[in-house]
Structure 1
Amino acid sequence: MEDLLRLMRSTEADRQTALHDFAHLMIAHGEAERASVHPVLVSFEDADTVEHIENAHLETVKVLYALLRVREIGSAEWDWRLQQLASATARHTDEEERTLVNKVRESLSRRCREELGAGYARTKADLLTARCGSVAHVHRMVRTAVPV
C-alpha cells in the first residue's frame, strides 16, 4: 500500500490507476481480515479493542472515499485528501501491527497461523478478483457505516 501511496503522489505515475488499485487492496484487506482474522482475535483481545480496530478501518475507508470523489488529480484538494489517507493508513497499520498481529503471532501455533493466513489470503484474493474497491462499493460501505 505504501508503494501505491507513493505512486499517487508522483506526477509521473498513473495516479488514477494507483488510487483504484489502492482502493481494491485496502477494501480486500479489511474485509478479509474482518471475516477471517477478527473472530480469532477476540480470543486474545477484548471485543472493545477489536471493535476499535474495525472502526479505525472504517474511518480510513471514509477518507479513501473522499479521495475517490476528488474530481481533479493533482489539485490542492487531491493533495490534502491523499495526505489524510496516508496518515490514516499509517496510524491504523501501526496500531494493528503493534497490538493484534503481535499478540496472535505470540499466542497461536505455527500451524494455526498458517491456516489463518491461508483463509485470509483466499478471501482477499476472491475480493480482489471481484474488484471490491469500486467507488460504488466503497460508497455503500460509508453510507451504511458498517465496520469493515
Structure 2
Amino acid sequence: MQQSFFGELFGVKIHLPVSRNEVKQLIYAKSDFAGYLVQEKSIPLHRAQTELDQDIHKFVRNMEKSQANRFYEYLIEESAVSAEEFRNQIHNPMTLNYPKLRISGDNTVRRKHSVWSYMSWFLLIGCVFLGTYWFDL
C-alpha cells in the first residue's frame, strides 16, 4: 500500500495509512519536547503534557475516521509500552545512582559519610553559640 504524507508533528513526519513506528516516534518526540518546554520555558510538566496532547488531538482531527481510530489505537498501545519501559528502567538498580555504600564488619550496609553531610548540624550549633554570645544568654 502506498503511503501519502499527511503532516509533521514534533518533528515526526506522519504518513497515511498510519504506522505504529511513526506513532512510537511521535510519543518519544512529544516527551522530548515536553522536557524542552519545562526547562526552557519554565512551564510545569503537567501543563506542557496537556498542551502537547491538545496539539496531537488537533492534528488527528484532520484525519479520516478510520485512520484516526488506528492512530489512537497505536497511541494507546505504544504509550502503555513506553510507560512499562520507563517503570522497568526505574526499578532496574543498574540505572539508578545511589550514594556509595560500604559494608561494615557486621555485614550491615551503611552510607559513606562526609563532612558535608554534617554541615546542617555545624550551622545549627554555630547559630546557637553566636546567639548566646550576641545576646549574652
TM-score by length of 2: 0.33
Task: Give the structure-1-normalised TM-score.
Answer: 0.31
Greater strand fraction, Structure 1 or Structure 2? 2
Q: Which has the higher contact order (CA 8 A, sep 6+)?
A: 1
Structure with larger Rg? 2
Higher helix share: 1
